[in-house]
Amino acid sequence: MNNGRRRVVITGVGAVTPIGTAADGLWAGLAARRSAVREITRFDPTRFRSRIAAEIPDFRPQDHLDAKRAKRLDRFSQLAVTSARLALADAELDATREDADRVGAMMGSALGGVAFAEAQVGDFLRDGPRGLDPALALAVFPGAASCNIAIEFGFTGPNSTNAMSCASGTIAVGDALHAIREDRADVMLAGGAEAPLAPMTYAAFSVIRAMSTRNDDPAHASRPFDEGRDGFVMGEGAAVLVLEERGRALARGARIYAELAGYGFTNDAYHMTAPRPDGRQAARAMRLALADGGVAPGDVGYVNAHGSSTPLNDTTETAALKQVFGAHAYRLSVSGTKGYYGHALGASGAIEAAICALAMARRWLPPTINLERPDPACDLDCLPGEGRSAAPDVVVSNSFGFGGINASLVLRRA
């Protein structure tokens, strides 16, 4: 059901993550069923309670971007632009042949270039203004993600980057959906990017005891829905989807991963770090997304959960799923995939939307790795172990963030 609205499909996936790069690399990382979480190598973590993260081991921006251009961008923007380039290639779209006014970029990032700014503080204290990188003023704000994508490819359509904590990437995809529906664009690059692995930025999350301290067993530290979970594991990464008006995509013979059918967005208005205990606003976000997509709860076959591996989030999300789906909740396949690649904050929702699109196209649902002793309060079918061969017609992807942000997407088989 679309009520005469322009329909939107996903025709390209680009990603740079700790488990793999590009659509095929991300999928291969999921199929390997191994965590990328290790002890931090980017800086000395010995002062901190948490000393582990999911780093991208092999990202060389010059492999994807012009060398001079890459030097002018901080890591956060490098990840964003690279993911956009990979997504365009995957969609087989030539940026030079597109109507630039009808192509836009919408991105999400919780922290933007904060880690780059942090690294500049020492130079400033030592050398004063002369010690600063001239790119600092242009790199630190989250909007650099979508703006640099636009500059890289010459796209002059709708452009924005939101900074709505860990739901940012999902919100960007939802906002891009609306841009195409409302005929403000025909193609949108949408996703999220995050590069938070710097000492003070990392310490800010460690000091509030939000992160796992399973430092002696990092590969098993992120364990959504498991009774032994003790916090999230910080990660870095980016993902960008190519969203395209359906008729246009069909006319050019594009490969379609899935239809992006619905989007819902709410706020708990409760607490900056703790979710509302009753989960009702998380549930309302899912209901809004289902209604937006014209989908009944019983039509959903798979949920990619926010599954942050924090004690409060996982139980609250489980409760919210039961509110929305009732008895059908126990027939759903649910997985939390952050055990693979940690929590890349504002990029996570985009990475997980990409995973949902790939899972629908390739007919396999990734497992919740490290789920060994399910929490009795998280008693849904959370796919421990090997994952599942399945072809769900409708999929939901959830992202919940600090500040009480709740965002959900609905994908439908094309």
Tens of pLDDT, residues 145-203? 999 999 999 999 999 999 999 999 999 999 999 999 999 999 999 999 999 999 999 99
Mean pLDDT score, 360-373:
98
Q: What is the pLDDT of residue 297?
A: 98
* Residue 178 shares a structural domain with residue 70: yes
Is 60 exceeded by the pLDDT of residue 326?
A: yes
* Residue 140 shares a structural domain with residue 243: yes
Q: Is 328 a catalytic residue?
A: no
pLDDT band at 138 (very low <50, low <70, confident <90, very high): confident
Residue-averaged pLDDT of the chain: 96
Q: What is the pLDDT of residue 373?
A: 97
* Residue 153 shares a structural domain with residue 267: no
235 within a domain of the structure (yes/no): yes
96 within a domain of the structure (yes/no): yes
Phi, psi of 103 (to 5 degrees): -125, 130
Closest CA to 234 of 348, 312, 323, 330: 348
Burial class (CB in 10 A: 0-12, 13-18, 19+), 134: exposed
Helix H or strand E encompassing 266:
strand 258-267
Q: How far apart are CA 370 and CA 342, in angstroms?
A: 12
Q: What is the pLDDT of residue 249?
A: 98
Residue pointed to by tokens 């709505």: 164
Q: What is the pLDDT of residue 300?
A: 98
Q: What is the pLDDT of residue 405?
A: 97
Q: What is the pLDDT of residue 45?
A: 95
The residue type at 386 = E
From 224, 251, 278, the end of a domain falls on: 251
Residue pointed to by tokens 């759903």: 332
Is 60 exceeded by the pLDDT of residue 40?
A: yes
3 within a domain of the structure (yes/no): no
SS3 content of the chain, % helix, strand, coil (to 5): 40, 20, 40
Tell me the chain's radius of gyration from C-alpha atoms: 20
Active-site residue identified among 64, 147, 306, 378 = 306
Mean pLDDT score, 401-414:
97
Count of domains in the chain? Answer: 2
256 within a domain of the structure (yes/no): no
**Which string of b and e fits 324-351 if b means at least 16 CB within 10 Å?**
bbeebbeebbbbbbbbbbbbbbbbbbbb
Which domain does 309 fall in, by range?
263-412
Tens of pLDDT, residues 274-320? 999 999 999 999 999 999 999 999 999 999 999 999 999 999 999 99
Helix H or strand E encompassing 173:
helix 168-181
In sequence order, which residues have a C-beta less than 8 Å from that of residue 48 and are 6 or more positions away? Answer: 202, 203, 206
* Residue 69 shares a structural domain with residue 213: yes
Is 80 exceeded by the pLDDT of residue 387?
A: yes
Residue 70: DSSP 8-state = H
> In the structure encoding, which two tokens stand for residue 214, read together?
């399973």
Global pTM reads 0.97
Phi, psi of 52 (to 5 degrees): -130, 155
Q: What is the pLDDT of residue 139?
A: 87
In sequence order, which residues have a C-beta less than 8 Å from that of residue 309 and are 6 or more positions away? Answer: 212, 221, 222, 223, 224, 226, 229, 230, 231, 232, 233, 336, 338, 339, 343
347 within a domain of the structure (yes/no): yes
Is 90 exceeded by the pLDDT of residue 3?
A: no
pLDDT band at 2 (very low <50, low <70, confident <90, very high): low
Closest CA to 352 of 389, 393, 390, 306: 306
53 within a domain of the structure (yes/no): yes
Q: How far apart are CA 88 and CA 14, in angstroms?
A: 8
Cα distance from N-terminal residue to C-terminal residue, the chain: 13
Q: What is the pLDDT of residue 137?
A: 87
257 within a domain of the structure (yes/no): no
Q: How far apart are CA 84 and CA 400, in angstroms?
A: 24
* Residue 290 shares a structural domain with residue 362: yes
Active-site residue identified among 64, 147, 343, 378 = 343
Q: How far apart are CA 175 and CA 20, in angstroms?
A: 26
From 188, 220, 251, the end of a domain falls on: 251
* Residue 241 shares a structural domain with residue 318: no
* Residue 212 shares a structural domain with residue 298: no
* Residue 24 shares a structural domain with residue 108: yes
Q: How is 303-334 classified by DSSP, letter by letter?
A: EE------HHHHHHHHHHHHHHHGGGGGGSEE
* Residue 85 shares a structural domain with residue 190: yes
Q: How far apart are CA 308 and CA 345, in angstroms?
A: 10
Q: Is 306 a catalytic residue?
A: yes
Beta bridge partners of 354: none
Tens of pLDDT, residues 202-238? 999 999 999 999 999 999 999 999 999 999 999 999 9
The tally of CA atoms less than 13 A away on the side-chain side of residue 167 is 25
> In the structure encoding, which two tokens stand for residue 85, read together?
């380039």
Closest CA to 174 of 413, 406, 414: 406
Mean pLDDT score, 310-333:
98
* Residue 320 shares a structural domain with residue 279: yes
* Residue 233 shares a structural domain with residue 282: no
CATH number of the domain encompassing residue 268:
3.40.47.10
Active-site residue identified among 147, 166, 356, 378 = 166
Q: How far apart are CA 271 and CA 403, in angstroms?
A: 6
2 within a domain of the structure (yes/no): no
Alpha helices in 221-279, H assignment, sequence order: 246-251
CB 166 within 8 A of CB 400: yes
From 251, 272, 288, the end of a domain falls on: 251
Q: How far apart are CA 322 and CA 283, in angstroms?
A: 9
CB 52 within 8 A of CB 18: no
* Residue 167 shares a structural domain with residue 72: yes
